Every structure is written in structure tokens, then in C-alpha cells.
Chains A and B, each alone.
Chain A
């Protein structure tokens, strides 16, 4: 009967020739197993390398050597299975990866063929449950050229483990060909598991935990080099760079002087590099620990590698030896506690769940990779993959004495381009060399000399001839060319160029008559009107600079400006201030001759901008600068006399400068929006339609409001320009979905003549974030560090501007001018302007704007790009418009608040769920504030002061509310062993680990009848968030998962379901995977043993049981044929049910048996011995009964043992465990006593083709009990029939049988 039980449920089925008992996973394996389990199709967990041999390799000896190693290395033959009760692993001799020899010598390019074959093999995901975790292959390219390829899943092998294998093979090979001592064999895999268990049980672990908590106190949040979540990708970019012999020697010299190992010094230098790139005062990197020392596992190939956080805080100004000393000392301290798992530390520190990390980049120096001697051959090592890369890893593998070193970089393709990965390799190698040479860190630029050249010179190759002239001369030319053309349109009336010429010349003459000319400033305070244009142009023609004023500004501010600019005259309808003469339009002359006008170096206008101190600053722009800006725009975009440009920006805002003058230098038409119309989307849309506008400008927040208005739909223009705020990718996409026009993103401060960079965001642009682009003509853009050194792509720095468009000065403030306009270190004699903005270069040289250097949003240490949150809001139809800001309404309590204009079907809870699905936790707004419209100020920018403070919940830790949350909270608390849990507490922060997560999600599946998947818990680690997810799926009321009929897969309501019958233990959860594979169409219901409940009487016979199940089934059956399936004992019951259904006259559609054999086969086996049940239960829980001879095989001791064991099974209620044993025992009795009836239909038998060797078990045994038997071979063991691989074969067959 032991055999019967073994056939009944997977953990009981031991592979026939298993090499030792099933073992638990080590701590090092748990995280890797879980990561692969979440993403089964991901091949990135394959590690691989090859050794390239040149020379006469003795193939026979080599094969013997590799096979000898394979026979010793149990890890390569592991099978790792997920059972309902835990994850177990076991070496299976049948899975040993004996050497395959592949002869490619006949291929046209043998090397390329081998590399391609290796790449393809590396890219194949491996299912740990099926084995095949490792491969050993020899590619023969010629008699003297071979590649030895090794692949192993990271679950079973790490870098040091690989090293052990290589050395073992070399020793065995040398022994064969040279007769040397082959040395000791490798240690068994079990030694690694034992060492892990010993550490887990030791008091040392608690001491290590305490050390780490203390060491990490006050550490900043770990961030990577680029924004974005560091989630395991499916591949990795690889790049390498050499560290030359001189640098290697310098490294060793300094290490020796410091009495440190050179790898530690290298780790410190790479840490310093990472700190530079991260741009933080302190950065946390991951340092690898080999984790084998002092353990019996030292010679057991396995995965042990541990990554622990290293806090990089450095005084860059100190001599190098002194600067790195704290890091070296930290490494020495940390090493004493290096056995404590990084994964566990992450949980201890609560740095887990969406978006939180323990460290950024990983530094992995493995100086133990000496390539051993293969007599007669040279050998060179190439890495193909070292396992998953969440962010970026700096790998250095070498032997201790190597002269030159090779730095390998692996990077997550979701976060880095291949070029960026390559740049990091080159740059880091350069940084190390330069630091050692300079002897100081602060003397080393971040960029390589090549990068510095590229980003200061090549990216700024913008020289372009522009006539050295004035705005006045350009406009005069147009006026002379087409005097009858329409220069202005305003409220339906037109003004010709001739009229504009006459009126502006007359005003200029009047000003000149008053002695006003070059060097003077004339204040202009007029509403938008033809008079405004005449005033601006008249002032310019007089040779003076215009100074626009907004009469609506507070009088105090106007007074300060007038006192600073001291204009001799104000052109305004009514007097604006005491002491300055006002000349109203009514008093302007009708005719007069314009004076000669200004020179290119004269000021054209002076604009006052708000200073951060609150004191307005007057920016003076010369003709030469604005001529460059306008000529660039005219030619770059091809503006002509046919263009009609909308003017709607206030003259006090510098965007108005091109709106006013670009059409006038082209001979086109300037269309003035009526005063106030700029804030009215309907009025703007009407103007664009009625006036045939070809070009218009919008500040992004105004553009968002405009696009949201129905009047904007379907508009067409040639070009729309955005500037003044960051343009998001989301808004760009909305723009193109709403109207037809090119979209151009421009950037520039008032201090550099309106705009200095441009980016084409027209349809087809997919950049995200959207760049500000490249410099305009005769303009240089620099991204520099604090020491004004150029930064490479991907590194955030301060944005500087050089070139002809720079302002002359701040009026009357030489102090401010000197501070903002500094010598350009790359152009002697030239100036550059410090923008105060943060930016970084993209790899293609486009610039990304990252906000103000003083206004960076940082919460909990995270750099947050608000645009990213806004973009996420914008992807929901529930949001028409949104802005996110960081508010500090209570001191020290800074929170993100989203202000939004609701769209269709706005529902805060649903929107939160929408955001939670797209953003890491730290980016979720603390409050959503719906507003009828977003307030904007006079320049069209968001008016922050007008935004209301949100109402925030009093405490973050609210209790669970509502049915779903309360049920979930009970499961969370039970899984975590806590009395209760808050609705917003993170499962992992509260102590959850991956195995507990499996258990929890099993419980969720039982409770809610549906498995959202383990990945869902990572994305939604709180009760509140998981509840939203579960509710969104309209789940049925839950049960305890043990009822006689449970729903395993919902399917379509009208379809007849597939009924799956429990195996020997009485529980049908094991069919969850099959049910999911049949979804979403086919409903799957599970039949479970009523006798799991002790109150239920045991059935008298299997026929009675089948009768009872049929009655339960028919009670809910929607009609149509009944479909049945069962695994093992379940198949026997299913066949009996089919017989019963036919007796009732019901149609049976499909009867599928998953490797079941009739009762006769059972009766042939001996009765189980006493205690077999308890042994079975132990095995289900992942324990090997044979290893616990001291344990009495009785109920009490076994259950007590299971509860201590910490496996999920041990946590099931005792009554359920009793039920499982009772049902198993009962089923044995029922099956042995059963006499089959004949089913008059086809019995579909899925045979476990890899099992039952040498046993007389065959589907043919069913022939007497069915009209016909159809057999489908599934290459699996009996115990694997409900596993992923088998289900992948079985489900499609069933799907076809169950109809469309």
C-alpha cells in the first residue's frame, strides 16, 4: 500500500533511483527559485561560460574528465519541485548532464556556429521542476580548436561553484593525459544544504542580523543610476573594458601600502564611481560575498553567493588612500557578518515590495578565477551570463596574480541601452585608472576625455551663418517687400505692412524727437492690440529697448521695476506711475520719419523675471541675440509669408517675442488674440479656425486644458510650439490624438533669448521622458558637475548655456550678472549662463530636463519625477488633466498630491488601483484632489498658490475595512504569524518572505477561489491593494477551500464545466494549474472528499462515493454533457461517476484519467504497514521520514514535528491534517474493495510516459471497463501530471475535447 499512496500525490512519488532524500531549498536558493517561479519563461537565470582551447585536446580524455566531474556534482542533476506543501530539491542521476560533443568543423564559420548555438541554449528558459538545469558541451571547431560550454541555472550554481567544476575537470583531465594526482572529489550537494541549515539554526545568525540592522541605520534609500523599477529582466546587456597592467600594478601598490587586498580597494573605487554616477552624497551599492568559508560546503558546487549593502560615503578631497579607508574598514567589518542573507536583510529593513531596494549597482569582484592548466592547450574564459541583473553589475573575474584585468558590465535592458552599458564599462575602468594616477578622487572627472569632447564640442557643433543685423532691419525688409500684405489681424480688422510701417515710423520719430534712442528703455503697458505692436516696433525703430509691464501686477512690484529700469517714458493708455511721463496711443503722431535705428549690439528688450529671492531681475537682450533666435526658427521650420501666427502670450513673457516678430520678419501675418482670449480654449479654437492660424504656442498646462476642450478636436495647424514647462510624453500623445499639427518642444530661459534647444515631438516621436532636445544655431549646451566638468550621458548635472543668444546683463545688478554669467571653460573669452536647471544628456546627445536644481522633489530619499506620475494619471480615461506637486502642509510631512480634472467615470478608488498598477509605492500620491479646472497664473503656468491643501487620512495604518479587506487581513496575519495587520502594511515589510508568500497566495486561492498569482502580491503587497485587485475581478463569496465542490476556474457561465476529482488525499487544489490553463473559457470545478470534515460519515463504498459526487455535481450543473477528469485515485472515482451518470441517463462528454490505473492494480500491491500514513504525511511536508528514525510514527509526535518544521503544511489546522490522513486511509480501503462497472464511452488516458518502468501498469488495463481507451503519452512522472510541463500538454487536448 505504500506504493498506492506514492501513486496518489506528488510528494509521495519518489523518483525511482533518487540520489538521496528530498532536501529543502537553501536561503540562497529561495529568492532565485521564487523569481523564476514568478516568470517561468525567463531564461536570465541561466549562468553560462565557455573556455576556448587552442591546441591538441584529447577529446576522449576530456569527455572522461567532464563526465567524472558530472558524476560528482549533484547540483547539476537537481530537480526542484513545488509541491502543495513546499519546495523540495533532489539530485536525480537520470538528469546528469553528461558531456555532449558537437562537431562543427564542417560549418562555414565554426566559431560563429558555436557562439550561435550557445546563445540559443542560453536563451532557453529552464523549468526547475523538469530538471535539465545544467548542460556540458564541447564544440569541436577543428582538431586544435575547441569550446567547452557550461550552462547551469543560478539556482544550482554560482561563480565560485563554476570555478570548482572547471578546476575539477582540469584535474581529472591532467590525471588522464599527464598522470598527475586527480585530487579529492567534489563534496556532495547535501553538504551545502546542511551548512545552510546549520547557519540558520545558529545563534550567530541572530548576532549577524543585529549587526546589519545597526550598520544600515540611517542609510539612504538605494536608487539606481536611472529612474525606473529594478525588476528582473529577461536578458542583460553585456560589455567589457580592460584595466591595463599599469593600473593593475598601481592598484596592487596602493592596496599593499594600505595592507588591504586589492579587490577591496577596487570595490571601493568602483563604489566611488557609482556614487559619482548616482550623484548622491551617500550611495548604497551591493557587494558580493562568496559565503563558503569555514563551511563543509567549500567544495560542494552550489549557489551560495550573497549580496550585501555597502554604504559609500567618501571625502573626495582627501588623498585617495585616506578617502577609501572608511570603505575598506567597512568591508572588513561587514565581512564578519557576510553569511547573513541580503534577501533576509532586505526584509528585516522593510526595503521590499514595489520599488524599494537594498542597494543599487552590484560590485562583484571574484579574484579566484584562475584558469587551471589543461596540458597541451591554452585556455581563455568568456562569460555568457551570470544570472539575473536587476540593475547594473560590475563584474571582475580573474586569478589573483593576473597582470591585466577585465571589467565586465551587465545591465538590465529595461533601464540601460547597450551603449550605456558599454559606456559604464569604459568609464568605470577609466575612472579607476585616473583615480589611482591622480591619487585623489576629486581630481578625476566623471566623463572620459572622449565623452568630455563629445558633449562639449561635438554635441555643440552648431555654428551657422546668421547676418549680423537687427530685428528692425529684418522687419523693414519685409515691410518694403510686401507693403500691401496683411501684417496684423485683430478682432476682424487688418493692418497692412504699409500702415504698420507708417505708424511705427511715426512713433519712432516722436521718441527720437524726445531724445530717446540706443541705450534707453521705453516702458510699454498696453493690452493686446495693434497699438501694442506699434509701440514695440516704434520703440525698436527709435533704437531703444522696450520694457513690457503688466498693469495688473502689484503696484509695489511695478514701482521696483521702474526704479530699476528708469525708463524716460511709458507707452500706456493711462498713467501707470508717478514721476514717469506717460504717452497714450491717442497722442501718438500719424506720420514721421523713423531714425536710422539700432545696431546689432544694442538692446532690443528688457524683461523682468521673478528672482528666487522675490526681487525681479531685468534681463537685457540684444538685437544680435534675438535675430539669431528668430532666423533659426524661420529657416529651421520653414516659415514663409503664408504663415499666420497666433499671438496670445503676454508681452511680459518672452515667448511673446517670437510670436510678435517672427511673422513680421517673414512677411506673414500676426494674428492678435483679443485680450483675455488666451485663457478661453473655445475662443482660441475659434480664432485658429476662423483666422487660418498656421502656428501657435502653448504652455503645456494650457495645452492640456485646451486639448480637454471639445472645441480643440479636429483642429489642424502646421506647427504648435510648447515651452515654459516640461512637456510630457503623455500630453504629446494626447495632442496627436486630438488635433493635427507638428508639435515642437522648445526650452530656454529669458536669459538666452527665448529658446536655446528644440525637440521635434511630432507624431511618431515616442520618447519618454520627452527631451528638450538639441541646441539651436550658434548655441552651446553643457551638463556639468559642481566643478564645472562635463558629465557623460545618463548622469544628472547642472545645465549651462553658451553662445550668441545670451543676455547682456541683469539691469543694474552687476553682482547677479557676474554670478549667473560666468566664463565658459570650453571657449576662452566666452561666457556661459548657469540656468539653475538640472539636466542630463541622453546617449544620442538629446538633453533631458529634470527640473530645478533647487526644487528637486525628494521623498523618503527617492528622486521623484512628477511628470512620471502625471503621465500615469493621464493613461486613465478617468482623468482629463492632472498635475502632481509635493506639498508640506504639516512641518516635516512632505507628501505628493495629485490635482486633477476628472474625466469619464472618475472613481478615486479605481483610479488609485490604476496608479498602483503603474507606479512604485513611493510615487503614489497621498491624496487625489479633483478640481473643476487647474488654476493657472497670468503667464499660463500652474498657479501653485491657488491649489487647495488636501484632506489627508489621520494615520497611515488604518484597519482593514469591508468584507474583502477583512478576509484578506486575516490571511495576511495568519501567514505572518501576527495577531492583526493594517490595511496598508506591506506584507514583506511585516516579515513576509517568498515561501510565506506562496503559502499566503495558496490561502488566497482557497479563500477567494481564484489565484491572482504570486506576482500580484509583489505588485500589491498590502491588504488594501490586493483587495482592490480581487474585488475588481468580481469574485464570488469565499469558502475555506475544503468544501466538497470548489470552483477552481471561473470560465464562461453557460459552458458545461470540467469536474476534476481529488486524488488520494481528498483535496483538489492540485488542479489549480490545469484550471488556469483551461481558462478563461472553460469553468473548472473541483470535487473534494466530504470526509475531510470529521462530522461527515465515511462512505461505504467507492460506488456510494461516486453516487454522492454525481448528486452534488448535478445540483449545480447548467445542463449539457458532463465532463470529468481525475488524477490517480481521482481517475478511478471519475470512471465510477461516469458509469453512474450513464445509469441516470445523463450524457458524459469527456472522461479523462491522469495516469490512473484500475482497482485490480491496487489489489496486487501489499497492504501498507502501520505508520505508512504518517510517513506519507511527513513526505508531503518535505521531510524525509528515514532521516527521523527517532520520531514515533504516531499522530501526536508527527503533527507536533510538522508544526515545528515551519512548512506550510504544518500550519494547516490539525483537523484538516487529520482529515487528509483519514481520507487517504479511506480511499485505500475503497479502491481495494472496488469492482468497476463498464463505461459505455471513450476513456481518455493521459499516461505518465516516464514512470512505471518495469511495472505492469498500462492504460490497457482499463479496456474491460470502457467501450474504448484512447491514450495520450505525457513525458512526465506520475507525480508531475499536474505540474506546469504536463499541464501544458494536457490542457490543449482537453480544450479540444471540451469543444469550442
Chain B
């Protein structure tokens, strides 16, 4: 599939984007670390969701808000990318 070849978001890119929003280095936090402890809140999350949306990946804000780790977010992203797009 053509879409699989160019995913709108990679795990590394997701981590880099989060780090930038938090003004931290991408290797400064772990996959399972609570992002809210690091200062991630709705404003930044919205911003990230918007950026990823612009890149072609529309993530459910409520689903992301339930658990704030890179691990959990990536799982949401993977699930979303696996779902067939609808109009």
C-alpha cells in the first residue's frame, strides 16, 4: 500500500515533536514517563495534534488525553493509522 510506505508520523518524529513542545531534549525522557509531569498540557497537546493533523494524521484528542506517555500515544497513532480512512 502506498500509504504504508509514507506514514504521516513516525515514532521518532512523535518523540521529537513532543520534546520540542516541552523544550526538552528528545532523549531526556522515557517512553513510559508521564508527559504531564514534564509539563505537557492541553495547549501543547492541541498544538501537537494540530501539527500531526496538518501532516495527515488526525488523532482523537480525548483518547490521547487518557494516558500521557509516548508509549500510549504511539499506540493511539498506530491504531488510527491502521483504521481505514473515512470521509
Contact = CB atoms under 8 A, between A and B. Distances in A.
Contact of A292 (B34, B43, B65): B65
B37 interface: yes
Interface string B21-62: 111000000000011111111111111011001000000011
Contact of A367 (B22, B23, B38, B46): B46
A72 to B, nearest CB: 13
A289 B23 contact: no
Size range of the interface on A?
20 to 34
B7 to A, nearest CB: 22
B61 A368 contact: yes
B68 interface: yes
Interface stretch (A36-44, A255-263, A700-708, A1227-1235): A255-263
Interface string A274-310: 0000000000000001101110101100000000000
Determine chain B's interface SS by DSSP, over half rule: helix
B44 A261 contact: yes
B3 interface: no
Contacts of A290: 41-42
Contacts of B41: 289-290, 293, 335, 338
Nearest to A365: B43
Contact of B47 (A204, A336, A400): A400
Interface string A157-173: 00010001001000000
Nearest to A180: B86
A333 B50 CA distance: 22
A400 B49 contact: yes
Nearest to B48: A261
A262 B46 CA distance: 10
Contacts of A329: 23
Contact of A261 (B21, B37, B61): B21
B20 interface: yes
A292 B39 CA distance: 12
Given A293-B41, A332-B22, A299 B50 contact: no
Interface string A342-372: 0000000000000000000000010110000
A264 interface: yes
Contacts of B21: 259, 261
A599 B13 CA distance: 84
A4 to B, nearest CB: 45
A212 to B, nearest CB: 14
Interface string A399-423: 0110000000000000000000000
Contacts of B61: 368
B35 A261 contact: no
Query: Which of B22, B37, B40, B43 has most chain A Cβ within 10 Å?
Result: B43
A1276 B43 CA distance: 44
A346 to B, nearest CB: 21
A400 B38 CA distance: 22
B62 A335 contact: no
B42 A296 contact: no
Given A259-B20, A261-B21, A294 B36 contact: yes
A263 B43 contact: yes
Contact of A400 (B20, B36, B50, B65): B50
Contacts of A365: 43
A164 B46 CA distance: 15
B71 to A, nearest CB: 13
A332 B47 CA distance: 14
A298 B46 contact: no
Contact of B42 (A160, A259, A339): A160
Contacts of B47: 261-263, 400
A333 to B, nearest CB: 7
A187 to B, nearest CB: 9
Given A293-B65, A294-B67, A332 B37 contact: no
B42 A368 contact: yes
A1260 to B, nearest CB: 54
Contact of A293 (B23, B35, B53): B35
Query: Which of A264, A293, A296, A365 has most chain B Cβ within 10 Å?
Result: A293
B66 A296 contact: yes
A294 B45 CA distance: 12
B40 A293 contact: yes
Contacts of B20: 259
A333 B65 contact: no
A401 B50 contact: yes
A333 B39 contact: yes
Given A259-B20, A332-B23, A294 B37 contact: yes
B39 A336 contact: yes
Nearest to B63: A184
Contacts of B34: 294
A400 B46 CA distance: 7
A332 B39 contact: yes
B1 to A, nearest CB: 23
A293 B62 contact: no
Contacts of B44: 261, 335
A293 B36 contact: yes
A831 to B, nearest CB: 50
A264 B62 contact: no
Contacts of A368: 42, 46, 61
Interface in A379-401: 400-401
Given A259-B23, A292-B65, A293-B65, 17 more contacts: A160-B42, A259-B20, A259-B21, A261-B43, A261-B44, A263-B46, A264-B43, A290-B42, A293-B36, A293-B40, A293-B68, A294-B37, A299-B66, A338-B39, A400-B46, A400-B47, A401-B50
> What are the nearest 6 A-B pairs in CB distance?
A294-B36, A336-B39, A261-B47, A298-B65, A294-B68, A335-B39
17 contacts: A167-B62, A259-B20, A290-B42, A292-B65, A293-B65, A293-B68, A294-B35, A329-B23, A335-B40, A335-B41, A335-B44, A338-B39, A365-B43, A367-B46, A368-B61, A400-B47, A400-B49
